[in-house]
Amino acid sequence: MTEPWHLEWATGSAATFHLRPLPDPVHRTVWVHTVDRPALVLGSTQPDGVVDRTAAAAAGVQVVRRRSGGGAVLLEPDGTAWVDVVIPTTDHLWTADVGVSFHWLGDAWVAALADLGVAGEVHRGPPVASPWSRLVCFAGLGPGEVRATGGGKVVGMAQRRTRVGARFQCAVPRRWAPDRLLALLALDPATRAAAPRALAGAVAPVPAPVADVAEALVAHLPGTATLKREG
C-alpha cells in the first residue's frame, strides 16, 4: 500500500526552519514554510564578509546560514513558495546517487507548474555554474532543478540527508527583484554596477499563491493516494 503524503504548514523564522531536524521515523511529508520576517540565507561555504551587515540591519533582514552549499537567497514573507519534501530511506523514491535523486521531484514540479500555466523543464545534467552563481543561488542550475522553457530558473533545490531520510528543500520565487538582494551584499563598485543587468533574467517568477503552488506539487507527487493536511 502506498504511504500517503502529509502536508504540514508552518510560519516562523528562516533560522528555525533551516535547523528543523528530520523526525525519526520519517514519513512522506511536505513542509510548507512561510517566513515571518525577511531573511538573507547564505550558502554553507559563503564567507560572512559577503554580507553588508549595516544594510541588513537597517532593512530589518535576518542573516541566516543554511547547511547546503550555493549562493545567497533572499526570503521575504509571501515572496517565495518554500516547500520541502521529506522521504525515508526505505521509500522507493530514495536513491543513493545524490545527483539523480532530485530528478523525480523535478518531474513533479514540472507537472505542478504546468497546472499553474508555467512550462518548464528539468535539468538532468551536472551543475551549471555562472559567473554569479557563487554569489547568488538562483544564478546557477543544479541537478533536478527546473527552469522555464526558454527562460530563467523556476525551482531551486537543495538536499539534506541523514541515516533515516532525505529532505529536499525547494524554493519557487513568486517575484524576482535582484536589486533587493544585492543591496544586502558587500560588493565592490564594478560588481554592484554589473550585477542587476546580469541577474535580471536569472529567474522566471511564479506569482501564484503559495497554497496553490504547494497543493499543485502534492497533486503530482508519485503515488499520492491520500492527503492529510496538518498544522
Average pLDDT, the chain: 93
Contact 121, 226 (CB under 8 A): no
The predicted pLDDT at position 208 comes to 97
Mean pLDDT of 160-176: 96
Cis amide linkage into residue 127, ω under 30° from 0:
no
pLDDT reported for residue 180? 95
User: Each residue of 37-84: pLDDT tens digit?
Assistant: 999 999 999 999 999 999 999 999 999 999 888 899 999 999 999 999
d(CA 198, CA 191) in angstroms, rounded, equals 10
Cα–Cα distances in angstroms (integers) from residue 120 to residues 29, 148, 180, in the given order? 24, 4, 26
CA distances from 103 to 86, 135, 202 (A): 15, 25, 21
- Total number of domains constituting the chain: 1
Residue 12 belongs to domain spanning: 5-230
At 5 the three-state DSSP class reads strand
* pTM given for the model: 0.93
Read off the CATH number of the domain in which 190 is found.
3.30.930.10
Dist CA 139 CA 65 (whole Å): 18
Using pLDDT thresholds of 50, 70 and 90, give the confidence band for residue 1. Answer: low
How confident is the model over 183-204, as a mean pLDDT? 96
What pLDDT is recorded for position 226? 53
pLDDT digits (tens, 9 = 90+) for 2-49: 788 989 999 999 999 999 999 999 999 999 999 999 999 999 999 999
- 4: which DSSP letter? P
Residue 230 pLDDT exceeds 70: no
pLDDT in tens, 87-137: 999 999 999 999 899 999 999 999 999 999 999 999 999 999 999 999 999
